A = this chain, B = another copy of it.
Amino acid sequence: MAETAPKRQKTSKSTPYHLVYWPGLPGRGEHVRLVLEEAGAEYTDTAHTEGGMGEVLSYIQGKQPPVDDVANLPVCAPPILRHGELVINQTPNIVLYIGKREGLVGDAEDEDGMWRVNALVLTALDGLSNEVHDCHHPIATGLYYEDQKEESLRRSADYVKNRLPKFLGYFQRVLEAKASGDGPWLYGGNLTVADLVLFQCLDGVKYMFPKAMAKLQREGKHDRVFALYDAVKERPRIKAYLESKRRQKYGMGIYRYYEELDLEG
Protein backbone atom coordinates (compact mmCIF):
# COMPACT_ATOMS: atom_id res chain seq x y z
CA MET A 1 0.00 0.00 0.00
CA ALA A 2 2.72 2.46 1.00
CA GLU A 3 4.29 2.09 -2.41
CA THR A 4 1.21 3.16 -4.36
CA ALA A 5 -0.41 5.55 -1.88
CA PRO A 6 -0.48 9.10 -3.27
CA LYS A 7 1.83 11.54 -1.55
CA ARG A 8 0.83 15.08 -0.87
CA GLN A 9 2.36 17.27 -3.56
CA LYS A 10 3.68 20.57 -2.30
CA THR A 11 2.77 23.71 -4.19
CA SER A 12 3.77 27.16 -3.03
CA LYS A 13 1.82 30.39 -3.29
CA SER A 14 3.84 31.30 -6.36
CA THR A 15 3.50 28.04 -8.31
CA PRO A 16 2.01 29.06 -11.67
CA TYR A 17 -1.15 27.42 -13.00
CA HIS A 18 -1.26 25.63 -16.34
CA LEU A 19 -4.58 25.30 -18.17
CA VAL A 20 -4.98 22.51 -20.72
CA TYR A 21 -7.88 23.21 -23.05
CA TRP A 22 -8.66 23.08 -26.78
CA PRO A 23 -7.14 26.05 -28.60
CA GLY A 24 -9.51 28.10 -30.75
CA LEU A 25 -12.65 28.56 -28.69
CA PRO A 26 -13.58 29.80 -25.20
CA GLY A 27 -15.55 26.68 -24.21
CA ARG A 28 -15.55 25.39 -20.66
CA GLY A 29 -11.95 26.54 -20.26
CA GLU A 30 -13.21 30.12 -20.22
CA HIS A 31 -14.58 29.80 -16.70
CA VAL A 32 -11.10 28.84 -15.52
CA ARG A 33 -9.49 31.71 -17.45
CA LEU A 34 -11.79 34.32 -15.93
CA VAL A 35 -10.97 33.11 -12.42
CA LEU A 36 -7.23 33.20 -13.14
CA GLU A 37 -7.48 36.66 -14.71
CA GLU A 38 -9.53 38.14 -11.86
CA ALA A 39 -7.08 36.64 -9.35
CA GLY A 40 -4.15 38.17 -11.24
CA ALA A 41 -2.57 34.72 -11.13
CA GLU A 42 0.39 33.65 -13.18
CA TYR A 43 -0.69 31.02 -15.70
CA THR A 44 -0.04 29.40 -19.02
CA ASP A 45 -2.71 28.14 -21.39
CA THR A 46 -2.50 25.60 -24.22
CA ALA A 47 -4.73 27.94 -26.25
CA HIS A 48 -1.67 30.15 -26.68
CA THR A 49 1.32 27.83 -26.38
CA GLU A 50 3.14 26.06 -29.18
CA GLY A 51 2.04 22.44 -29.40
CA GLY A 52 -1.04 23.20 -27.29
CA MET A 53 -3.36 20.97 -29.30
CA GLY A 54 -0.92 18.07 -29.03
CA GLU A 55 -0.79 18.55 -25.29
CA VAL A 56 -4.59 18.38 -24.98
CA LEU A 57 -4.58 15.19 -27.04
CA SER A 58 -1.89 13.60 -24.88
CA TYR A 59 -4.27 13.87 -21.90
CA ILE A 60 -7.30 12.63 -23.84
CA GLN A 61 -5.31 9.66 -25.11
CA GLY A 62 -4.14 8.79 -21.61
CA LYS A 63 -0.44 9.47 -22.22
CA GLN A 64 -0.60 12.16 -19.51
CA PRO A 65 -0.58 11.75 -16.63
CA PRO A 66 1.48 8.57 -17.19
CA VAL A 67 -0.27 5.39 -16.06
CA ASP A 68 2.39 4.87 -13.37
CA ASP A 69 1.94 8.33 -11.82
CA VAL A 70 1.54 7.49 -8.14
CA ALA A 71 -0.74 10.45 -7.38
CA ASN A 72 -2.67 11.60 -10.44
CA LEU A 73 -5.48 9.71 -12.16
CA PRO A 74 -6.32 9.75 -15.87
CA VAL A 75 -8.63 12.63 -16.82
CA CYS A 76 -11.76 12.16 -18.89
CA ALA A 77 -11.97 15.49 -20.73
CA PRO A 78 -10.62 19.06 -20.70
CA PRO A 79 -10.47 21.58 -19.14
CA ILE A 80 -7.55 20.16 -17.17
CA LEU A 81 -5.47 22.04 -14.63
CA ARG A 82 -1.87 21.27 -13.84
CA HIS A 83 -0.63 23.01 -10.71
CA GLY A 84 2.77 21.89 -9.54
CA GLU A 85 2.49 18.10 -9.37
CA LEU A 86 -1.31 18.12 -9.19
CA VAL A 87 -3.40 17.30 -12.27
CA ILE A 88 -7.19 17.60 -12.06
CA ASN A 89 -10.08 18.13 -14.41
CA GLN A 90 -13.80 19.07 -14.39
CA THR A 91 -14.70 22.75 -14.71
CA PRO A 92 -16.45 23.28 -11.34
CA ASN A 93 -13.69 21.35 -9.58
CA ILE A 94 -10.92 23.47 -11.09
CA VAL A 95 -12.84 26.67 -10.43
CA LEU A 96 -13.33 25.76 -6.76
CA TYR A 97 -9.71 24.69 -6.35
CA ILE A 98 -8.31 27.94 -7.73
CA GLY A 99 -11.03 30.03 -6.07
CA LYS A 100 -10.20 28.61 -2.65
CA ARG A 101 -6.47 29.27 -3.08
CA GLU A 102 -6.98 32.77 -4.44
CA GLY A 103 -9.57 34.00 -1.94
CA LEU A 104 -12.50 33.96 -4.35
CA VAL A 105 -14.94 31.73 -2.44
CA GLY A 106 -16.11 34.26 0.13
CA ASP A 107 -14.74 35.89 3.23
CA ALA A 108 -11.69 34.11 4.67
CA GLU A 109 -13.43 33.79 8.07
CA ASP A 110 -16.45 32.11 6.50
CA GLU A 111 -15.47 28.45 6.35
CA ASP A 112 -18.84 27.35 5.02
CA GLY A 113 -18.81 29.90 2.20
CA MET A 114 -17.11 27.66 -0.32
CA TRP A 115 -20.01 25.19 -0.19
CA ARG A 116 -22.58 27.87 -0.93
CA VAL A 117 -20.41 29.25 -3.71
CA ASN A 118 -19.87 25.79 -5.19
CA ALA A 119 -23.64 25.20 -5.28
CA LEU A 120 -24.06 28.41 -7.30
CA VAL A 121 -21.28 27.43 -9.70
CA LEU A 122 -22.79 24.00 -10.29
CA THR A 123 -26.26 25.44 -10.83
CA ALA A 124 -25.03 28.04 -13.32
CA LEU A 125 -23.14 25.38 -15.27
CA ASP A 126 -26.09 22.97 -15.23
CA GLY A 127 -28.74 25.43 -16.35
CA LEU A 128 -26.86 27.96 -18.44
CA SER A 129 -24.08 25.90 -19.99
CA ASN A 130 -24.77 22.15 -20.15
CA GLU A 131 -28.44 22.59 -21.00
CA VAL A 132 -27.52 25.18 -23.62
CA HIS A 133 -25.03 22.84 -25.27
CA ASP A 134 -27.78 20.28 -25.58
CA CYS A 135 -29.96 22.83 -27.40
CA HIS A 136 -27.79 22.23 -30.49
CA HIS A 137 -26.92 18.62 -29.61
CA PRO A 138 -30.04 17.09 -28.02
CA ILE A 139 -29.58 13.63 -29.53
CA ALA A 140 -25.85 12.93 -29.64
CA THR A 141 -22.66 14.91 -29.08
CA GLY A 142 -21.03 12.63 -31.65
CA LEU A 143 -23.38 13.72 -34.46
CA TYR A 144 -23.31 16.98 -36.39
CA TYR A 145 -25.84 19.68 -35.58
CA GLU A 146 -27.18 19.20 -39.11
CA ASP A 147 -28.16 15.64 -38.17
CA GLN A 148 -30.31 16.81 -35.26
CA LYS A 149 -31.70 20.14 -36.45
CA GLU A 150 -35.37 19.39 -35.90
CA GLU A 151 -34.77 18.15 -32.38
CA SER A 152 -32.54 21.17 -31.69
CA LEU A 153 -35.32 23.53 -32.69
CA ARG A 154 -37.76 21.74 -30.43
CA ARG A 155 -35.37 21.73 -27.50
CA SER A 156 -34.31 25.36 -28.00
CA ALA A 157 -37.94 26.51 -28.08
CA ASP A 158 -38.52 24.85 -24.72
CA TYR A 159 -35.26 26.19 -23.35
CA VAL A 160 -35.88 29.85 -24.08
CA LYS A 161 -39.51 29.62 -23.00
CA ASN A 162 -39.15 27.62 -19.79
CA ARG A 163 -35.63 26.82 -18.69
CA LEU A 164 -33.85 30.11 -19.33
CA PRO A 165 -36.37 32.22 -17.34
CA LYS A 166 -36.31 29.58 -14.60
CA PHE A 167 -32.56 29.85 -14.10
CA LEU A 168 -32.41 33.64 -14.45
CA GLY A 169 -35.26 33.78 -11.95
CA TYR A 170 -33.30 31.61 -9.55
CA PHE A 171 -30.23 33.84 -9.68
CA GLN A 172 -32.42 36.93 -9.31
CA ARG A 173 -33.83 35.40 -6.10
CA VAL A 174 -30.31 34.73 -4.86
CA LEU A 175 -29.32 38.34 -5.54
CA GLU A 176 -32.41 39.56 -3.65
CA ALA A 177 -31.70 37.36 -0.62
CA LYS A 178 -30.04 38.91 2.42
CA ALA A 179 -27.19 36.38 2.33
CA SER A 180 -26.04 37.79 -1.02
CA GLY A 181 -24.94 40.87 0.90
CA ASP A 182 -24.71 44.42 -0.38
CA GLY A 183 -23.56 45.20 -3.87
CA PRO A 184 -23.93 43.27 -7.10
CA TRP A 185 -22.50 39.88 -6.05
CA LEU A 186 -24.20 36.55 -5.40
CA TYR A 187 -22.79 35.72 -2.00
CA GLY A 188 -21.73 37.55 1.11
CA GLY A 189 -21.05 40.95 -0.45
CA ASN A 190 -17.81 39.73 -2.09
CA LEU A 191 -17.00 38.83 -5.66
CA THR A 192 -16.58 35.05 -5.86
CA VAL A 193 -15.95 32.51 -8.58
CA ALA A 194 -19.74 32.06 -8.79
CA ASP A 195 -20.08 35.61 -10.17
CA LEU A 196 -17.40 34.94 -12.76
CA VAL A 197 -18.96 31.63 -13.82
CA LEU A 198 -22.42 33.19 -14.05
CA PHE A 199 -21.00 36.08 -16.10
CA GLN A 200 -19.48 33.69 -18.63
CA CYS A 201 -22.72 31.69 -18.82
CA LEU A 202 -24.76 34.83 -19.43
CA ASP A 203 -22.29 36.03 -22.03
CA GLY A 204 -22.58 32.73 -23.88
CA VAL A 205 -26.37 32.64 -23.72
CA LYS A 206 -26.47 36.23 -25.02
CA TYR A 207 -24.39 35.05 -27.97
CA MET A 208 -26.54 32.00 -28.70
CA PHE A 209 -30.01 33.40 -27.93
CA PRO A 210 -29.70 37.20 -28.36
CA LYS A 211 -33.42 37.75 -29.00
CA ALA A 212 -34.56 35.84 -25.94
CA MET A 213 -32.00 37.55 -23.71
CA ALA A 214 -32.91 41.01 -25.05
CA LYS A 215 -36.58 40.31 -24.38
CA LEU A 216 -35.88 39.09 -20.84
CA GLN A 217 -33.76 42.16 -20.16
CA ARG A 218 -36.51 44.48 -21.47
CA GLU A 219 -39.08 42.79 -19.23
CA GLY A 220 -37.02 43.83 -16.21
CA LYS A 221 -37.75 40.86 -13.94
CA HIS A 222 -34.09 39.85 -13.78
CA ASP A 223 -32.52 43.28 -13.42
CA ARG A 224 -30.06 42.16 -10.73
CA VAL A 225 -28.79 39.35 -12.94
CA PHE A 226 -28.08 41.74 -15.80
CA ALA A 227 -26.52 44.21 -13.35
CA LEU A 228 -24.16 41.46 -12.16
CA TYR A 229 -23.20 40.81 -15.77
CA ASP A 230 -22.30 44.49 -16.23
CA ALA A 231 -20.47 44.66 -12.91
CA VAL A 232 -18.22 41.71 -13.77
CA LYS A 233 -17.50 43.18 -17.19
CA GLU A 234 -16.25 46.38 -15.57
CA ARG A 235 -13.81 44.72 -13.16
CA PRO A 236 -10.47 46.20 -14.25
CA ARG A 237 -8.69 42.88 -14.80
CA ILE A 238 -11.69 41.29 -16.52
CA LYS A 239 -12.15 44.34 -18.76
CA ALA A 240 -8.49 44.23 -19.78
CA TYR A 241 -8.76 40.50 -20.44
CA LEU A 242 -11.90 40.79 -22.57
CA GLU A 243 -10.18 43.44 -24.70
CA SER A 244 -7.03 41.33 -25.10
CA LYS A 245 -6.16 38.67 -27.66
CA ARG A 246 -6.34 36.07 -24.92
CA ARG A 247 -10.15 36.27 -25.12
CA GLN A 248 -11.13 33.99 -27.98
CA LYS A 249 -14.23 34.33 -30.15
CA TYR A 250 -17.24 32.03 -29.90
CA GLY A 251 -17.46 29.48 -32.68
CA MET A 252 -18.26 25.80 -32.67
CA GLY A 253 -18.16 25.30 -28.91
CA ILE A 254 -20.87 25.22 -26.26
CA TYR A 255 -22.39 28.53 -27.32
CA ARG A 256 -23.13 28.74 -31.05
CA TYR A 257 -25.20 31.09 -33.16
CA TYR A 258 -27.74 29.44 -35.44
CA GLU A 259 -30.27 31.91 -36.83
CA GLU A 260 -33.06 29.33 -36.80
CA LEU A 261 -32.55 28.71 -33.06
CA ASP A 262 -32.53 32.43 -32.21
CA LEU A 263 -36.05 32.43 -30.78
CA GLU A 264 -37.67 35.07 -28.60
CA GLY A 265 -39.24 32.65 -26.13
Contact with B along A164-194 (1 / 0, CB 8 A): 0001001001101111111000111100000
A42 at the interface (CB under 8 A from B): no
Contact of A179 among B72, B113, B134 (CB under 8 A): B72
- Inter-subunit contact A1/B177 (CB<8 Å): no
How many of these chains are in the complex? 2
* Chain B residues near A180 (CB-CB < 8 A): 73
Per DSSP, chain A at the interface is loop
Let me know if A122 is at the binding interface, CB within 8 A.
yes
- 0/1 per residue, A134-168, Cβ < 8 Å to B? 10001111110000000100110010001100010
Given contacts A73-B116, A177-B74, A181-B4, contact A138 B151 (CB under 8 A): yes
Q: Would you call A155 and B182 a contact (CB within 8 A)?
A: no
Interchain CB contact under 8 A, B75 and A119: yes
**Contacts of A9 on B, CB cut-off 8 Å?**
112
In the complex, which residue of chain B has the Cβ closest to the Cβ of A150?
A: B151
Q: Which residue of B lies closest to A4 (CB)?
A: B181
B1 touching A181 by the CB < 8 A rule? yes
0 or 1 for each of A61-84: is its CB under 8 Å from B? (1 = yes): 010010111111111110000000
Residues in A lying within 8 Å of B, measured CB to CB: 1, 4-9, 62, 65, 67-77, 86, 88-90, 92-93, 96-97, 106-107, 109-113, 115-116, 118-120, 122-123, 127, 130, 134, 138-143, 151, 154-155, 158, 162-163, 167, 170, 173-174, 176-182, 186-189
The 9 closest A-B pairs by CB, nearest first: A140-B158, A90-B122, A90-B119, A4-B181, A93-B118, A68-B178, A74-B173, A88-B115, A76-B170
